[in-house]
Amino acid sequence: MQVRQWWRARAVDDDTRLDAQELLLHCLDVRRSSFYMMQNQQLSCEQLNWLDNQWLERVKGRPLPYILGRAWFWGMSLRVSADVLIPRPDTEVLVRALLDLDLPSQAKVADLGTGSAAIALAAALERPQWCLIGVDQSELALQIARQNVHDLAPGRVHLVRGSWFGPLRPQSLDVVVSNPPYLAPDDPHLVDLGDEPRSALVAEDQGFADLFELIQTAPAYLRPRGWLLLEHGWQQGEAVNQAFRNAGWQCVRTLTDLAARDRVSLGQWHG
């Protein structure tokens, strides 16, 4: 079977067309720019078996990044597995907010719940002079993060195992950034997220428990005028913003994602 035959048989709409193309690019180990020049290439039996098996997984609902073991974020190709969340474009709002802060030239930044280290690596590539720490309680997630750091920014992100601020020294950080669990245990979106680690998605108190804990705990670990940046659900912006204010944070604001929905809240600690 030719490449174009396999592709056309599965490309029934825009979504399936892109998914089938991504699988073919991975299988053939070629760049997108070369794809259309390979339309007449014959697929081997081994390639066909792999493609058909992976397509079946995709049809069953398994996310394409987990099938390929790769996800794109901030222009980086990151390794991913079912032990880490798939990085989303919305999280780039968090990265942009971090990069826009007026920070010391050698700022010390901690990414809590780092997962694949997507946020920390984006910052490392944009601000090579910063000291970056990624913290995660999952050793399996840290194994993926270590591979990504090795591939993309060797030695630039220090990874440690622990829960939130556990491994960190008080008053040692200029910024804390986190995309914590923020879905309620009964959130209907969980039906479509069954392949992703539940511990990285779900929090008690209707999804607010970890968000509120970070807001309350972060001041003890920040240097004077340090910042906390949190990603949250699009319906949580008002409550998170108010929690910042109630806890005594200054310069509090909430930023929107590409769909103009509340996505990131941040504040500065003056003490």
Residue 115 phi, psi (nearest 5): 60, -120
Domain holding 40, by residue range, is: 3-60
Query: How confident is the model over 202-228, as a mean pLDDT?
Result: 97
pLDDT given for residue 37 in this prediction? 87
In a domain? residue 65: no
Based on the structure, what is the number of domains in the chain?
2
- Straight-line distance from the first to the last Cα atom of the chain, in angstroms, rounded to the nearest whole number: 67
CATH code of the domain in which 196 resides: 3.40.50.150
Of 210, 229, 240, 216, nearest to 268 by C-alpha is 229
Higher pLDDT, 12 or 232: 232
Q: What is the tens place of the pLDDT at every residue in 124-179?
A: 999 999 999 999 999 999 999 999 999 999 999 999 999 999 999 999 999 999 99
Contacts of 41 (CB under 8 A, 6+ apart): 2, 3, 28
- The single residue listed with the structure tokens 């399996």 is 140
β-strand pairing of 131-136 with 222-231: unpaired
Q: What is the tens place of the pLDDT at every residue in 142-156?
A: 999 999 999 999 999
- Vertex 157 angle, CA 151 and 158, to 5°: 120
In a domain? residue 209: yes
20, 132: one domain: no
DSSP state of 113: T
246: how many CB neighbours lie within 10 A of its CB?
Answer: 11
CA 122, 265, 70, 38 torsion-angle sign:
negative
81, 26: one domain: no
pLDDT given for residue 103 in this prediction? 96
The answer on pLDDT for 271 being more than 80 is no
Q: What is the tens place of the pLDDT at every residue in 93-103?
A: 999 999 999 99
The answer on pLDDT for 11 being more than 90 is no
Helix-strand-coil percent breakdown of the chain, rounded to 5?
45, 20, 35
